[in-house]
Structure 1
Amino acid sequence: MSPRIRGLLSFRAWLKARPQAADALLAVGLLAVGLPQLFLEKLPATPEFERFRDPDVWAALLVAAVTLALTWRRRAPLTVLLVICCGEMALALAEYPPGLPDVAAFLVAVYSVAAYRGLAQSALGGLIAFGYFVTFLLMLPVSSSPLTMITDAALVAGVWVLGRNLRLRRAYFAELEDRAARLERARGTDARAARIEERSRIARELHDVVAHHVSVMTVQAGAARRIIDRDPGSAREAMSTIEEVGRTALSEMRRIVGVLRTDRDAERAGQELAPQPGLGDLGELLDHVRETGLSVQLWIEGEARPPSPGVDVAAFRLIQEALTNTLKHAGPQARAWVRLYYGDGDLTVEIEDDGRGTATFMGDDGAKTGHGLVGMYERVALYGGELKIGPRVGGGFGVRARFPLEA
Structure 2
Amino acid sequence: MSSTPSAPFFKRVTPGGWAAIAWGAGIAFTALLRIRVPGQDGPDLLPGFVILRWDGLAMLGVATLLTLRGSVLLAGRPTAALNHLLVASVIASTPLGVIAIPAAQYLAVDVALYAIAAARPRREALRALLLALGLLVVYLAVRLLAGWGAGTTSALAVGLTALVAWLLGRSQGQAREFAERNRARVAEQAVTAERLRIAREMHDTVAHSIGIVALQAGAARRVIDTQPEAARQALTEIETASRETLAGLRRMLGALRTADTEAEAPPAPGQAAPDRTADPADVPGLPEMPGLAALDRLAELTGNAGVRVTVRRAGAPCPLPPDIDLSAFRIVQEAVTNVVRHSGADSCTVTVDHRAPDSLAVTVEDRGAVTGHARVHHGPGSGYGLTGMRERVAVLHGEFTAGPRTGGGFRVTARLPLPTGATTR
TM over 0.5: no
Asked which structure has the greater CA Rg, the reply is 1
Flag the structure with more relative contact order, 1 or 2, with Cα contacts below 8 A and sequence separation at least 6: 2
TM range (shorter): 0.3 to 0.5
